[in-house]
Amino acid sequence: MRSPPLLSPRLSWRRMVGVFFLPFILPAFAPRFKHEESLMLGTAHPPQPRFNWSHLTPLELKNRSVGLGTASTGRGKPHFTLEGHRFLICGGSIHYFRVPRAYWRDRLLKLKACGFNTVTTYVPWNLHEPERGKFDFSGNLDLEAFVLMAAEIGLWVILRPGPYICSEMDLGGLPSWLLQDPRLLLRTTNKGFTEAVEKYFDHLIPRVIPLQYRQGGPVIAVQVENEYGSFNKDKTYMPYLHKALLRRGIVELLLTSDGEKNVLSGHTKGVLAAINLQKVQRNTFNQLHKVQRDKPLLVMEYWVGWFDRWGDKHHVKDAKEVERAVSEFIKYEISFNVYMFHGGTNFGFMNGATNFGKHTGIVTSYDYDAVLTEAGDYTEKYFKLQKLLESVSATPLPQVPKLTPKAVYPPMRPSSYLPLWDALSYLNEPVRSHQPVNMENLPINNGSGQSYGFILYEKSICSGGRLCAHAHDMAQVFLDETMIGILNENNQDLHIPELRDCRYLRILVENQGRVNFSWQIQNEQKGITGSVSINNSSLEGFTIYSLEMKMSFFERLRSATWKPVPDSHQGPAFYRGTLKAGPSPKDTFLSLLNWNYGFVFINGRNLGRYWNIGPQRTLYLPAVWLRPEDNEVILFEKMLSGSDIKSTDKPML
């Protein structure tokens, strides 16, 4: 059509009106990224929305058919819908396996009272299938109970079942027995890996099906794997997992989660792409827009803190920065999930590790400088976010639950001790092997090998020289009961002095946590990998002890002949004392400032690792794991005995 004359009087008044209203009209037609650019520059200030989700809770929404979906209304921005109603995901991460089951309700109620409508959680394959074909969904691993409790409290659930989850867990949540076969390629469509995934999903997904939204449950979305864009070893892997979930009956919204630079490589057709980030910057959403311009934005992980590593500093993040970011998410109706809302604890041997040139284990505490502390206490972040979310809620928020009380107990001194060498007879039968065998390939646990803890290699030698061995992660080397040196990834040999008589060579190796991120997960076998030699001559004929430190071992250890504690003892040993908790035990934090390196067991339950290099200086001890009055405390100290064990009502992280 031919354009009208430039000075047509018929259109001049319209032009004038248009020019006047241009600043108000253009934003509605502008590309969506302009809105996010304004957000990042701090130049746009849309009115603060007010939300009423009182009718959109698992308790109120009875008639269900369409679940969580996405919509775009003409000139408006794309947005989420729940049962057809406009919906903003305000999520917070709580990992059921990092929180004592007795405290699940408390943490979920605090999430709800802060103004959140959704809880997200990972599902750790390594904890649920500790041995090949042996599944555990009981006690603290009762996924279904956690999800149903969230529904009862009025929270929706986004499930992140992996199979790989990262989460700063040992091997990123993958079971260690996958490392038995070097031909099995993790996180690919390699036959050995997919066969294991199929069997795991065959057991896990039927538990999830009835928990889905359209089945009357609270699960509104399920994540496919985790951060695959940064791994990206197999283009067919993510589509395979997508189909694996669909054919087992997952009908709710499926999504992926990647760092902002890896969204493109992690994208899977037919799956919503979400983003993980530490802070919002000018180009934060550029890659995401290249993948999907017609979908609402979801920040699957907004990192409100960070994890700590041994020998590193304790990480904190300013509460005002967190408040500003969440405020911007709400203004621009960007759905978000706070990671972590409540971090919890890497109890036992759960922790993973990083390896950016050096293997470094994650500390026991997963406090994460989160919205709630490791012990579930309120923080400045909590109250700032509560005030913010209350300001945009059309209905009052629930009452804030009371704090969990803390206590300081009388200091205790171990009354008896047992050198490691005296405890060997209380372990399971040792393995006799021509060559050293790594943890994962030990013929124990119904063929699944050893996942965590320590492994001891013993061999009689009659001459000294240059000892060479590849030990992962850290090994103490002994002649009989005297330590002569340490082996690790940077030190793979040491000198053994000349011997007058034959002596026992003992190599005690600790798994300090398998790497949880990057391609290096493929090579995370622990113990001694390869041969052991003296002066280039390979040693043969080893006795191998598995020290998994399971509760059954400590039950057997009670019948051992313990000795009075000496003034000082060097070398690995167990130390036993009694914590007097009184008639009503309360949460506390154990302080081991004059001990060196080891683990603490309360009534046979593993609280986790302590280490004098910090940054963590206390271990969280939940009241629900204490008995009234007397509680057995056992320390496994690797290096040198300390004196007393104190408690405090405040953590030192």
Q: Are strands 503-510 and 454-461 parallel, antiparallel or unpaired?
A: antiparallel
Give the distance from CA 84 to its chain's centroid: 33
At 566, list the tokens. Answer: 């000496």
User: Using CA atoms, how far apart are residues 414 and 600, in angstroms rounded to an integer?
Assistant: 12
Full DSSP string of 524-574? ---EE-S--EETTEE---EEEEEE---HHHHHHHTTS--EEPPS--BSSEE
Sheet holding 588-591, edge to edge: 618-621, 588-591, 646-648
Full DSSP string of 358-427? SEEEBPSB--TT-SB-TTS-B-HHHHHHHHHHHHTBSSPPPPPPPPPPB--PPPB---EEEEHHHHGGGS
| Upstream peptide bond of 615 is cis (omega within 30 degrees of 0) | yes
The residue type found at 213 is Y
Q: Are strands 465-468 and 533-534 parallel, antiparallel or unpaired?
A: antiparallel
* 538-555 as b/e: b if 16+ CB within 10 A: ebeebbbbbbbbeeebbe
**From 36, 227, 252, 374, the catalytic residue:** 227
CB atoms closer than 10 angstroms to residue 386:
19
At 179, list the tokens. Answer: 């490392």
* 360-380 as b/e: b if 16+ CB within 10 A: bbbbbbbbbbbbbbbbbbbbe
At 607, list the tokens. Answer: 């609280």
Computed on alpha carbons and rounded to an integer, the radius of gyration of the chain in Å comes to 28
- 301 carries an active-site annotation: yes
Q: Please name which of 648, 98, 97 lies closest in space to residue 370, comparing C-alpha atoms.
A: 98
User: Using CA atoms, how far apart are residues 521 and 504, in angstroms rounded to an integer?
Assistant: 33
At 633, list the tokens. Answer: 């405390």
- 555 carries an active-site annotation: no
Q: Cα dihedral angle (175, 181, 182, 186), rounded to 10 degrees? A: -40
Q: Please name which of 488, 552, 395 lies closest in space to residue 51, comparing C-alpha atoms.
A: 395
SS3 184: coil
| Helix extents (H) in 83-131 | 104-113, 125-128
**From 301, 333, 458, 510, the catalytic residue:** 301
Full DSSP string of 571-620? SSEEEEEEEE--SS--BEEEE-TT--EEEEEETTEEEEEEETT-S--EEE
User: Using CA atoms, how far apart are residues 404 and 103, in angstroms rounded to an integer?
Assistant: 9
Q: Please, what is the angle between helix 143-153 and helix 104-113, to 10°?
A: 40
Q: Are strands 533-534 and 416-419 parallel, antiparallel or unpaired?
A: unpaired
User: Using CA atoms, how far apart are residues 17 and 632, in angstroms rounded to an integer?
Assistant: 82
User: Using CA atoms, how far apart are residues 178 and 521, in angstroms rounded to an integer?
Assistant: 11
User: Using CA atoms, how far apart are residues 170 and 353, in angstroms rounded to an integer?
Assistant: 7
Active site residues: 227, 301
